[in-house]
Structure 1
Amino acid sequence: MLDEFFQTPIEYLKGVGAARGAALKKELGIATYGDLLQHFPFKYIDRTRFYKIKEVSLELPYVQIIARLKHKEIVGEKAGKRLVASAYDETGPIELVWFQGIARAFQNLVVGKAYVFFGKPGFFNGKPQIAHSETELYGTDAAKNQGSLALQPAYTSTEKLKKFLLDTKGIQKLVAALLEQYGRNISENLPPYILASNKLIDRRIAYQHIHFPENFMQLKEASKRLKFEELFFLQLKLLKNKLFREQKFKGSIFGKVGHYFNEFYTNKLPFELTSAQKRTLKEIRLDTQKGIQMNRLLQGDVGSGKTVVALMSILLAIDNGFQACMMAPTEILANQHYQSIKQLLGEGFVEVALLTGSTTRKARKIIHEDLESGKLNILIGTHALIEDKVQFKNLGFVVIDEQHRFGVEQRAKLWRKNSIPPHILVMTATPIPRTLAMTLYGDLDVSVIDELPAGRKPIETKHFFESGRLRVFGFIKEEIAKGRQIYVVYPLIKESEKLDLKNLNDGLEVMSREFPLPEYRISIVHGQLTAADKEFEMNRFVKGETQIMVATTVIEVGVNVPNASVMIIENAERFGLSQLHQLRGRVGRGAEQSYCILMSNQKLSKEGRIRLETMVRTNDGFEISEIDLQLRGPGNIEGKQQSGVLDLKIANLVEDQPALQQARQEVERLFKTDPQLHLPENALLYQHFQQKSAGLSWNKIS
């Protein structure tokens, strides 16, 4: 079986055994030979350079010297026992000291012999010193071997593993043993034509050189090969998924643009569509005519008009005799969609209903009956939509908002509600960098609404330190006097001893003093309130009964209050860029000029400063998302549900964008000529792919 040895349990490797194997699995997730081979070095120590003793300084992370041993002795007793030795070259002496493994080190050191000493330099009483030096007899085969390790790999380890002598050096020995004993068993998994066209080295050599490169060129070639391989198989999986779905899941054909769509577009649409909205609608229209299930991701900044595009697509479904539904992650957001869609459609145009956890039993019964009879055209709701009791007569179109908040199974339940799977439109207001979209959503077609409706004024963003707080309070009072409303967002609910943050409780106290009753009224919302209390407080703000909402980030998604014109974010330096951008999107929804005020401590980290400067400089969500990806890396952009997709061992989505593009293009070329991977030259690929994807289900929306 191809790469069978990759699956071999790690305890079978000589020198591991049951106890070390269990520790490696628990501490680093290394359970097999493949896991060990893919526990790549996080850095390399240059062993090509030999220093003279007089060149040793604390600035150097490591030094390697050739020196002759002059003296050795064991001094001290019990806990203070140590081996002290001295050696010299033509430029002066150096002290060597060992606090562990004393007897073994003493036995191996011979006075008068020359050694290669390697380690972290220090100084004691003004003299250079190396503690626990790696030591090889100079001129021996061992020293030659050590010398050939020009770039020495350093591996992540843990304190627990070090008790099993599995520090970086111990892991290095295991990898070396594995490659020496079984390296020949690493089989190729890419066809010769792909290796040749992308100038990639053999896989077995790549593994050897990524762990034990003799020079930087070998390391570069090995890294290029293994990164390409990882990204190639990721893209192969995603695009094969898409191809499989297109072949297996037929889609309803929306053959006509009829009364509902035309009537809405001509007489009900309250504004001119932007060119980006028109382009997206055209893409959806073409998708729904192909006879295959549409799976499209609609990206657009807060306020870019995604809901109208979704609604017009739904009307297209209704024109063709189908029902539609829209699922949102919270009751507030579902309710908001319901209200705005009802307002856009007007009374008596199509039947629309709202289904959430709060819907009464009586109302549910009517909704269930109307759905099954076909009387109900559009159902908007939360997770309640996926309940087994919710049965449609003919579901043809599904809209999922802020989809990363739903699990794969939850989403899949929705599109099993019809014999022909409905078309899927996934919407997100979190701008996703292109590289991330190609991995997280590589099997979806992507539409982007990259312009705001006419008349929307860009939000002005300002940054203030604590010293500017009185000015900010004055500004809030001016805005409230104009009839506007204000958000004040805090990162914590209660004070933390470890973090010097403005917390919500203290903030509420300060705001209540500065904005007292009866002139001012304040809502308070945070994650520890019950759903009912949260709803009550938010609704007070939505209805304009309170002018200030003091909140944690629970309001990041979902509250639409066109009258709110100021967003104040306390300790803004503690938030990620995409979160700051989401919070800012809560204002700027009306015709009036809106403002976002970022409050921060005087002391800012380099990253904190970049984030705040970026927010002040631009409103472009996609530019912000790219900078966020560079600052934070890909790991946490889209939440835990997606982390499995991004379980990359060696590739980095920020640094390796060209490699990702290259891999994607190669897979696209491959599927044009051999979509089933049945040609003889792709037999290797097919075999490896089948093995990697064993047990995977392709019928997922991701």
Structure 2
Amino acid sequence: MATLADRLDHLLGHKTADALDTAFDIRTVEDLLRHYPHRYASQGRELAEKDPPEGEHITIIARVTSAAVVKMKNRPGSMLKVVLATDTQNVDVTFFSPQKVKHVIKPGVRAMFSGTVKYFRSKWSLTHPSYLILPEPRAGSEDPVVNVGRIRGAGDLAGIARAAQEPGAGVDMSVFERALIPLYPATREVESWTIMKCVRQVLDQLDHVDDPLPERIRQERSLIGLDEALRLVHLPDTREDIENAHDRLRFDEAAALQLVLARRRHDNAERAAPECPPAPGGIADEFERRLPFQLTDGQHAVAEEISADLSRPHPMSRLLQGEVGSGKTIVALRAMLQVVDAGYQCALLAPTEVLATQHARSLRAMLGSLATAGELGADEKATRVALLTGSMPVAAKRAALLEVVSGDAGIVIGTHALIQDNVEFFNLGMVVVDEQHRFGVEQRDRLRSRAREGLSPHLLVMTATPIPRTIAMTVLGDLDVSTLRQLPKGRSPIKSSVVPASQKPQWVARAWERIREDVAEGRQAYVVCSRIGDGEKGDGEDSLDDKQPDTKSAVEVFEELSGTIMPDLRVGLLHGRLPTDEKDAVMRDFTAGDIDVLVCTTVVEVGVDVPNATIMVIVDADRFGVSQLHQLRGRVGRGAHQGLCILVTEMNPGAPAFGRLQNVASTNDGFELAQLDLATRREGDILGAAQSGTTSTLRLLSLLGHEDVIAAAADFARSVTADDPRLENHPGLSAMVTSALDADRIQFLEKT
């Protein structure tokens, strides 16, 4: 018999166990049993209930009733038209390479087909699906295992056919008589068929699994036991079996995450951080006294939350999220000055040199004489603002490094250069990360480690549109959250519209005309492109699909506008490959009003503040993510005049990308758009370094679809860790955490 902790090489042999380890890091019985099927093949019975939705991936077992090669009507060539008979209905299948499959897919054969549902004139079908021809069991034989010379298969199901060719491999026909057949995430080296056989072999030897969840929790949530769930998820008889197993295993994932997060919060509360209470009459008070405007009620409320955190002897870990233009920077500056009053330094990490330079310029302007310590005319309470970027001249960089290490600079602003080993802070007390999605967690952790030994600096993360990972961690309860929704007085919401360029070229011409009208009234415009030119991508390009039409580069659009469309206007060009001094000069000219139209890439995505800019045209807008589009349009309408954002796309109306742009245009609510972004890109690797949404630690849990499960798991985790933060008295729960999350991910989470 076997337990969850047993090594697989003892049960399956070294060859198979090594292959599973190499392909999936599967080493124990529990690792294997938590490698869940990603879908199930069926005998087609459930298809009678309703037609499957467009785009759904289905896998069915059926018998071929007809297969005929026919000529295509609208283009040269032929195709194989196949009709499948399931238990309840016929299904049409089309193959566009008839010569390759007509000798395999013939009337009378029984096969598994796996493909995406497509509709035409209200009837659905499968086009060029994967297939596996199933051998017929021998008549009169009671042995379910059939030894076959060759099993034919193609596409995603070819792996089962390949696995059946291994020496000594037989096909267990009893598997194909099941109502639901598990199909696993697999590789060419370790096929779904191989995993299925390993799982069945292990389940046959598995002892009863003790349940780490208290009976009370299982009853409250109507959850089945862990032993039953692990068996049913792999060998279900009904859809209800799958749902019951998923409900239980999904709660396990949520509970494991919440237990780690609860433990992290407990550990964080025990760390020491600089105590930075407000200092009456200090630089922070003097700055607020000099402000030429009043902070909004929302800014006051958030400032008080942050001030209270900074006053405590434990590190703040707070997300400051607010609409574009809601005044996050001034709230963050007020917090940094409170830390400076306490005798500590602050580091502001910006994602680009353009933004870092803009931050340094705007903070110095806001502080005035309060930022000129050591100079004639400086206020007695003044500090210094140092700027440190990678491409600064050697002399300027050396001077900035000296201000940082000596403590003369109370506020240090920079890009990734701040994380370099040669940057030493005199006494770092707070880290502010602007637009955190542009940095990896490892990079932030390196900066936070620059405080004096024994202290952890306070952390404030700012974002206008929380990206999927930020929302994910927020939903999981990992961050304290402050929110700014209120815009400063006199600022109008930005209007947005989508222009289908291929269908409505006259609308594109109207966009250029609208820019002319605004410039004639003394205002300015941005034209944003997804790439620079010369075949290179743009700065931080965030396209969702590489299989899209060719896009216009910033260089091309600049030449077109300055040469033929707007030759009489002052058109500038800004992108990431320009030398630093040129980028800075272009931004100074645009800020001063010496450039009418700035053609640029996403170097202006965040932080750039030119109140006179009122219109933005985003070319090939479908190439940008939801967060980027919202950030970009936030560069206009920052003054007294109405802002307009025009999203130009070659996508046809009705395409998913066009619909995404319409969603962006329909709302200025960054939090609503963040949810859309999360739904589009998934949660990302919640406990891993990936933040793009392409991978996920979560197997069954969805942060959008299962918030009730997460909330229940959070309550459970808090109740357990209140008295036993290290889970020393709950070994079963501790084991559940480590089974759901490997050591690297737990260590990673504790850094974030």
Q: Which moved more, 1:211-220 or 1:552-561?
A: 552-561
Q: Indicate which of 179, 182, 185 corresponds to 1:150.
A: 179
Are residues 1:401 and 2:434 paired?
A: yes
Deviation sequence 1:414-456 (CA, Å, 0-9, x none): 3332243222212122324698343687432121112222211
2:334 is paired with a residue of what secondary structure? Answer: helix
Q: Which moved more, 1:291-300 or 1:267-276?
A: 267-276
CA distance in 2, matches of 1:589, 1:441: 33
Q: Is the 8 A contact 1:355 1:382 kept in 2?
A: no
The offset of 1:260, in angstroms, is 2.5
Q: Indicate which of 345, 349, 372 corresponds to 1:323.
A: 345
Deviation sequence 1:197-237 (CA, Å, 0-9, x none): 33322222212111211112211110011111112111221
Deviation sequence 1:575-629 (CA, Å, 0-9, x none): 2222211211122222211110011226145422321221221100001111222
Q: Is the 8 A contact 1:118 1:135 kept in 2?
A: no
CA distance in 2, matches of 1:144, 1:389: 65
2:260 is paired with a residue of what secondary structure? Answer: helix
Q: Is the 8 A contact 1:396 1:423 kept in 2?
A: yes
Report 1:211-226 matches (<5 A): 211-226=234-249
Q: Which residue of 1 aligns with 2:524?
A: 485
Q: 1:32 to 1:507 in 2, by over 3 A?
A: farther
Are residues 1:675 and 2:676 paired?
A: no
Are residues 1:354 and 2:386 paired?
A: yes
CA distance in 2, matches of 1:581, 1:222: 40
CA distance in 2, matches of 1:631, 1:366: 46
Q: Which moved more, 1:561-570 or 1:432-441?
A: 432-441
Are residues 1:562 and 2:611 paired?
A: yes
CA distance in 1, matches of 2:582, 2:19: 47
CA distance in 1, matches of 2:490, 2:423: 40
Q: Which residue of 1 aligns with 2:34?
A: 38
The offset of 1:172, in angstroms, is 2.6
Q: Is the 8 A contact 2:318 2:459 kept in 1?
A: yes
Q: Which residue of 1 aligns with 2:511?
A: 472
CA distance in 2, matches of 1:374, 1:508: 44
Q: Is the 8 A contact 1:578 1:624 kept in 2?
A: yes
CA distance in 1, matches of 2:466, 2:293: 24
The offset of 1:291, in angstroms, is 1.7
CA distance in 1, matches of 2:395, 2:556: 44
Q: Which moved more, 1:227-236 or 1:525-534?
A: 525-534
The offset of 1:398, in angstroms, is 2.3
Q: Is the 8 A contact 1:48 1:147 kept in 2?
A: no
Are residues 1:175 and 2:229 paired?
A: no
The offset of 1:525, in angstroms, is 3.1
Q: Is the 8 A contact 1:295 1:445 kept in 2?
A: yes
Q: 1:250 to 1:120 in 2, by over 3 A?
A: closer
Are residues 1:526 and 2:575 paired?
A: yes
Q: 1:51 to 1:368 in 2, by over 3 A?
A: closer
CA distance in 2, matches of 1:450, 1:437: 20
2:632 is paired with a residue of what secondary structure? Answer: helix
Q: 1:13 to 1:652 in 2, by over 3 A?
A: farther
The offset of 1:538, in angstroms, is 3.9
Q: Indicate which of 254, 266, 273 corresponds to 2:295.
A: 273
CA distance in 1, matches of 2:250, 2:59: 28
Residue identity matched to 2:257: L
CA distance in 1, matches of 2:386, 2:287: 21
TM-score, scaled to structure 2: 0.75
The offset of 1:273, in angstroms, is 1.8
Q: Is the 8 A contact 1:66 1:117 kept in 2?
A: yes
Q: Which residue of 1 aligns with 2:699?
A: 649
Are residues 1:549 and 2:604 paired?
A: no
Residue identity matched to 2:45: R
Q: 1:131 to 1:424 in 2, by over 3 A?
A: closer
RMSD: 4.2
Report 1:599-614 matches (<5 A): 599-601=648-650, 603-614=652-663
Q: Which moved more, 1:395-404 or 1:233-242?
A: 395-404
Report 1:276-291 matches (<5 A): 276-291=298-313
CA distance in 1, matches of 2:494, 2:337: 32
Deviation sequence 1:139-164 (CA, Å, 0-9, x none): 96859955873222233445x34xx7
Report 1:22-421 matches (<5 A): 33-47=29-43, 49=45, 62-64=60-62, 119-120=112-113, 132-133=133-134, 135-136=136-137, 142=144, 145-146=174-175, 149-157=178-186, 160-161=188-189, 166=191, 168-181=192-205, 183-184=206-207, 188-254=211-277, 256-265=279-288, 267-347=289-369, 348-349=378-379, 350-356=382-388, 357-371=390-404, 373-415=406-448, 416-419=450-453, 420-421=455-456
Are residues 1:4 and 2:5 paired?
A: yes
Q: Which moved more, 1:615-624 or 1:500-509?
A: 500-509
Q: Indicate which of 422, 430, 444 corresponds to 2:457.
A: 422
CA distance in 1, matches of 2:603, 2:409: 32
Q: Is the 8 A contact 2:685 2:695 kept in 1?
A: no
Deviation sequence 1:273-318 (CA, Å, 0-9, x none): 2222222112112212332111111112221111111111122223
Residue identity matched to 1:218: D
Q: 1:25 to 1:566 in 2, by over 3 A?
A: farther
The offset of 1:63, in angstroms, is 4.7
The offset of 1:667, in angstroms, is 1.4
Q: 1:50 to 1:618 in 2, by over 3 A?
A: closer
Q: Indicate which of 712, 726, 740 corresponds to 1:662.
A: 712
CA distance in 2, matches of 1:26, 1:431: 36
CA distance in 2, matches of 1:385, 1:567: 32
The offset of 1:464, in angstroms, is 1.7
Q: Which residue of 1 aligns with 2:493?
A: 458
1:640 is paired with a residue of what secondary structure? Answer: coil
Q: 1:261 to 1:445 in 2, by over 3 A?
A: same
2:331 is paired with a residue of what secondary structure? Answer: helix
Q: Is the 8 A contact 1:116 1:138 kept in 2?
A: no
The offset of 1:251, in angstroms, is 4.0
Structure 2, unaligned runs of 5 or more: 49-55, 66-84, 91-99, 116-130, 145-171, 370-377, 537-545
Q: Is the 8 A contact 1:37 1:175 kept in 2?
A: yes
Residue identity matched to 1:174: C
Q: Indicate which of 558, 562, 568 corresponds to 1:508.
A: 558
Residue identity matched to 2:522: G
Deviation sequence 1:368-396 (CA, Å, 0-9, x none): 55555544332222333344554444332
The offset of 1:511, in angstroms, is 1.7
Residue identity matched to 1:154: L
Greater per-residue helix proportion: 1
The offset of 1:320, in angstroms, is 2.8
CA distance in 2, matches of 1:150, 1:308: 62
The offset of 1:655, in angstroms, is 2.3
2:409 is paired with a residue of what secondary structure? Answer: coil
1:132 is paired with a residue of what secondary structure? Answer: strand
Q: 1:690 to 1:434 in 2, by over 3 A?
A: closer
CA distance in 1, matches of 2:526, 2:329: 24
Instruction: Among all aligned residue pairs of Structure 1 and Structure 2, give the percentage whose two residues are the same amino acid.
Output: 36
CA distance in 2, matches of 1:330, 1:489: 16
CA distance in 2, matches of 1:370, 1:573: 44
CA distance in 2, matches of 1:465, 1:538: 30
Paired positions, count: 640
Q: Which residue of 2 aligns with 1:108?
A: none
Structure 1, unaligned runs of 5 or more: 53-58, 68-86, 93-98, 104-114, 123-129
The offset of 1:184, in angstroms, is 2.6
TM-score, scaled to structure 1: 0.79
